Amino acid sequence: MPNIQFRCPRCNQSIEQPPDMLGQLIDCPACGEVVEVQKSIHLPPPPRPGPRPVPRLKLPKPPPHAPAAKTREYKVLAPSDESFAGGVTPARLEEVLNAYAAKGWQVAAALHPRHPGDAADSRDDWMLILGRTR
């Protein structure tokens, strides 16, 4: 006679016992629950595990609008600039540069151009290139 097959009512473990154990109590080998050896007309297969839930990723929210691309702009200062209408002095130059610095400007270059045909120090020309990022 074939062995008796049945399932544990607690954990659904498939259990197989010889026919002479019918009606006796045994411990389930999987969960330890005390179960009665009983005939089963139909031994249903254990339930298949369903698909595992996919965890949802929490992505950072994009900013409401992309920041504007930064651009670089330049300004040229020279003795002929209206800021120096009263003449160029070290104190006036310092005032003008500090006023521009307060607006984000920085000195990018200082030039002392030479003009063709001029003597070495005959002209008092200079230029300051100011730059800032916007």
Residue 123: per-residue pLDDT: 54
Note if the pTM is more than 0.85. no
Residue 101: per-residue pLDDT: 93
Residue 31: per-residue pLDDT: 92
Q: Structure tokens of 76?
A: 């040229």
- Rounded to the nearest 5°, which phi and psi values hold at 91? -65, -40
Residue 40: per-residue pLDDT: 66
Q: How many helices (H) and strands (E) does the chain have?
A: 1, 7
Give the model confidence (pLDDT) of 24-66 as tens digits.
Answer: 999 999 999 999 988 765 555 667 777 877 778 788 887 777 6
Amino acid at 124: D
Q: Which of 74, 125, 124, 128 is nearest to 97 (CA)?
A: 128
d(CA 7, CA 47): 12
- Span 58-81, average pLDDT: 81
Task: Say if residue 35 is exposed, middle or buried (CB neighbours under 10 Å; 0-12, 13-18, 19+).
Answer: buried
pLDDT band at 127 (very low <50, low <70, confident <90, very high): confident
Which CATH number is 4-36's, of 2.60.40, 3.30.420, 2.20.70, 2.50.20?
A: 2.20.70
Where are the CATH 2.20.70 domain residues in the chain? 4-36
Give the model confidence (pLDDT) of 79-125 as tens digits.
Answer: 888 888 878 888 888 989 999 999 999 999 888 777 666 665 545 67
Q: Are 5 and 30 in contact (CB under 8 A)?
A: no
Residue 98: per-residue pLDDT: 93
